[in-house]
Structure 1
Amino acid sequence: MAELIAVVGATGFQGGSVIRTLSASPEKYRIRGISRNIESARVKELQALYPNIEWVAADLDDPATLEKAFAGADIVFGNTNYFQPSIRERIDAGDYDAEFTQGKNMVDAAVAQGVKHIVYSPIVSAIEVSNGKYTNAYDTEGKAKLRKYIEDSPIDGYFIYCGFYFQNSLRAARWEGEKVIFEYPLPIDVKQPYVDIDDDYGNIVELMLSDRAKYKEKRLAAVEGYYTGPEIAAAFARATGIEAEYRCVQEYYYSIPDIKSLFEFFIEFDALSGVDMSEAKNNIKKPFTNVDQFWTKHKDFRP
């Protein structure tokens, strides 16, 4: 009988990729999409694309709704979002454990319902990797703390560490005359890990679930390669024929102390320290999407 996987954050990048991949194997997986608002336009769009998916409303701040959403599930795909407005409000008010608290609610509800497996995407702890230099990159700490909580719980955990999303470039672009400008707070000579989250992330989830004894508590990287901002802009120009330029713009991001620390940590340290960089890349069912392939798919994109 096909296993039931409850996908938290089913309307987001990670959850959407999981749905897209696993829905192709109905003999193995039944899918339950979890979202705060199952009447949203995005849910209706997904219902049209994947009519066999069940949808249940739940809120990471409401454990009772999570227990209901996880009833009968064999697997939970877990997701927490540091940049969700309600989390940001709590962080700004001094509740630096806000994201961890939501994740803990999710794990506790899964355990209470007898779920056997959970897949989650943490980040390494900036405090640990920087030897205490960066103490307020709270996005890393909440996710790293939740990974440890999962490892200490009765549920089997599987961990995927993501690079920057190529898709972020779509939101970082604007016109300047006849040229497209990409703006992001990374210096022009700094390479960072990137992944096509839409097309490739779900394949890693599928890989880990295909051999659970092998991948239990393993940390796999969702990374195709390392790129600078100018390299991403140049790939857009090759695909579209439109002149493009990358600029490092830090004023907005660096005006928010915890976001400033987060990017400074990414720039100075290896944000994938201790993560297996080759396992997923060598074993997923299709190769990762590189930057040129990404922009070829999005060659009609205009800011």
Structure 2
Amino acid sequence: MSKTIVIIGATGNQGSSLACVFLQKPGFKVRGVTRDPAKPASQALKKQGVELVQGDVDDVESLKIALRGADIVFGNTAYSNESVKPGTQHKCYELELQQGKNVADAVATVADGLEMFIWSSLSAATKWSKGRYDKVYHFDSKAHVVDYINEQLPAVAQKMSILQMGLFVNNWRWGAPSVPWHKQPDGSMKLRIPGQGDTPVPFVVPDDAGHYVYALTQLPIGTNLLAFGGMVTWTEYVKLWTKATGVPAVLEKVTIEEHAKLVPGGFGEEMAHMYGYMVDFGYHGGDPSVTFTSDVSCHSMFQEHVESPADEVALQIKIDIPITTLEEYLAQEDWSPLLKGEAIDRT
């Protein structure tokens, strides 16, 4: 008997990857939830074989209808682009938190017949940094949905696994506030990163999300998976980038205040806190519940890391996860817009 996986946000980076992967897996039917089933991205999924239903993360009732008959639900919300505007950061946090709660409340109505709920989350930066980095709103908004589920929706919590996608490798396309590359007069590049630590950062290709989620369906419920195709320090990243591009580059540590000035009004400060958090405390903050992709993948692509996941059962399971390594991405990417200082693609 086939299983139905329902993907909330089916046309997004993660959702579209899930649709492509699960359409190729025997025994799965794919249902995509989208605000507008008529838009081109939705219709493209329909042509591939996805069952499309209308649903909006701002409308709980529409989600309840969309989730009927689901065996597996993937929940995902997108942090608002309004966050780049001055003074909007906390408002965007509250909006995404409420949208996540809406998803969870809808899942609660089908929890009895549900096999698994997978929530796309990030670590609780304020909590794990003990308040030092309290403005990483796009991390906390997702993490606080997990808190809500654990505290208010026990039936959902019992079916929940968590996906934490590492730092997207293509964030550089959004310009210096997102990934602070700076071109030097001699043509070389300088990457200016806030924070004083040197903790390895997990880098991930967004298009690989479906492979990580499929892996989660084969791991014990309750797994909190940190997904990445490479775990390196920023110093190592710059060396790999130079090797891939042939362009000399160096790393320079800067202060939170310096980075915040790149976009006055809050967004620059939020990005600065994110970098400070990940290099001082780790992208996952040292959360002991996290399981690393490298601990459950039988791929030999991963470098060693110092932490160990808490889930001993997960350690006994090895899965082939066909994902893109950091080195592969760096070699395949077209870096010419960055090197030429051309307009950034924000699509």
The share of aligned pairs that are identical, in percent, is 25
> Structure 2: which 5+ residue stretches go unaligned?
176-180, 253-257, 299-317, 338-347
Task: Name the residue aligned to 1:297.
Answer: 332
> Structure 1: which 5+ residue stretches go unaligned?
none
1:281 paired with 2:297, answer: yes
Displacement, 1:171? 4.2
C-alpha spacing 1:265/1:179, structure 2 compared with 1 (3 Å): same
Equivalent runs, 1:151-300 vs 2, <5 Å: 151=150, 152-155=153-156, 156-172=159-175, 185-186=193-194, 190=198, 191-199=200-208, 201-211=209-219, 215-229=220-234, 231-232=236-237, 234-239=239-244, 243=247, 245=249, 250=259, 251-252=261-262, 255-256=265-266, 257-272=269-284, 273=286, 274=288, 275-277=290-292, 278-282=294-298, 283-286=318-321, 288-298=323-333, 300=334
C-alpha spacing 1:219/1:92, structure 2 compared with 1 (3 Å): closer
CA contact (8 A) 2:89 2:137 kept: no
The alignment covers a number of residue pairs equal to 294
CA displacement, residues 74-115 of structure 1 (integer Å, 9 cap, x when unaligned): 111010122343898995474743222101111111221345
Residue number among 61, 72, 81 corresponding to 1:75 in the alignment = 72
**Counterparts of 2:83 and 2:63, CA distance in 1:** 17
C-alpha spacing 1:262/1:232, structure 2 compared with 1 (3 Å): closer
1:194 partner SS: strand
**Counterparts of 2:139 and 2:66, CA distance in 1:** 27
Q: Which amino acid aligns with 2:137?
A: Y
CA contact (8 A) 1:66 1:106 kept: yes
Instruction: State the superposition RMSD in angstroms.
Output: 3.3
C-alpha spacing 1:46/1:295, structure 2 compared with 1 (3 Å): farther
Task: Name the residue aligned to 2:110.
Answer: 113
CA contact (8 A) 2:160 2:221 kept: yes
Q: Which amino acid aligns with 2:168?
A: Y
Equivalent runs, 1:6-45 vs 2, <5 Å: 6-25=6-25, 27-45=26-44
CA contact (8 A) 2:195 2:280 kept: no
Structure 1 residues 31-40 or 223-232, which shifts more?
Answer: 223-232
Q: Which amino acid aligns with 1:280?
A: V
CA contact (8 A) 1:82 1:88 kept: no
**Counterparts of 1:262 and 1:30, CA distance in 2:** 37
CA displacement, residues 12-48 of structure 1 (integer Å, 9 cap, x when unaligned): 22212212221111x3211111222223333334344
Structure 1 residues 252-261 or 14-23, which shifts more?
Answer: 252-261
Q: Which amino acid aligns with 1:141?
A: D
**Counterparts of 1:14 and 1:296, CA distance in 2:** 22
C-alpha spacing 1:186/1:23, structure 2 compared with 1 (3 Å): farther
Displacement, 1:53? 0.6
Normalized against structure 1, the TM-score is what? 0.81
Structure 1 residues 141-150 or 159-168, which shifts more?
Answer: 141-150
Task: Name the residue aligned to 1:122.
Answer: 121
1:97 paired with 2:94, answer: yes
C-alpha spacing 1:90/1:40, structure 2 compared with 1 (3 Å): farther
C-alpha spacing 1:291/1:44, structure 2 compared with 1 (3 Å): same
Q: Which amino acid aligns with 1:291?
A: L
